[in-house]
Amino acid sequence: MSDDEREEKELDLTSPDVVTKYKSAAEIVNKALQLVISECKPKAKVVDVCEKGDSFIREQTGNMYKNVKKKIERGVAFPTCISVNNTVCHFSPLASDETVLEEGDILKIDMGCHIDGFIAVVAHTHVLQEGPVTGRAADVIAAANTAAEVALRLVRPGKNNKDVTEAINKVAAAYDCKIVEGVLSHQLKQFVIDGNKVIISVSNPDTKVDEFEFEENEVYAIDIVTSTGEGKPKLLDEKQTTVYKRAVDKNYHLKMKASRFIFSEINQKFPILPFSARALEEKRARLGLVECVNHELLQPYPVLHEKPGDYAAHIKFTVLLMPNGSDRITSHSLQELQPTKTIDDPEIKAWLALGTKTKKKGGGKKKKGKKGTESAETEPMDATTNGAESQE
Q: Where are the domains of the chain?
A: 16-239+303-353, 242-301
Q: pLDDT at residue 318 above 90?
A: yes
3-state SS, residue 261: helix
Task: Tally the C-alpha atoms within 13 A of residue 171's C-alpha that lie toward its C-beta.
Answer: 33
Q: What is the pTM of this model?
A: 0.90
CA angle 333, 334, 339 (to 5 degrees): 150
The confidence score (pLDDT) of residue 379 equals: 57
Q: What is the topology classification, in CATH, of domain 242-301?
A: Arc Repressor Mutant, subunit A (1.10.10)
The confidence score (pLDDT) of residue 1 equals: 42
- How far apart are alpha carbons 187 and 204 in whole angstroms? 21
Residue type, 278: R
The predicted-structure confidence for 258-282, as pLDDT tens digits, reads as follows 999 999 999 999 999 999 999 987 7
Task: Tally the C-alpha atoms within 13 A of residue 361's C-alpha that lie toward its C-beta.
Answer: 0
The predicted-structure confidence for 109-165, as pLDDT tens digits, reads as follows 999 999 999 999 999 999 999 999 999 999 999 999 999 999 999 999 999 999 999
The confidence score (pLDDT) of residue 366 equals: 38
The confidence score (pLDDT) of residue 389 equals: 54
Mark 46-58 as b/e (b = at least 16 C-beta within 10 Å).
bbebbbbbbebbe
DSSP code of residue 322: E
Domain spanning 16-239+303-353: CATH 3.40.50.620? no
The confidence score (pLDDT) of residue 226 equals: 98
The predicted-structure confidence for 68-105, as pLDDT tens digits, reads as follows 888 899 999 999 999 999 999 999 999 999 999 999 99
Q: At what angle do helices 135-154 and 161-174 cross, to 10 degrees?
A: 160
Residue 227 in contact with residue 311, Cβ under 8 Å?
A: yes
- How far apart are alpha carbons 68 and 95 in whole angstroms? 35
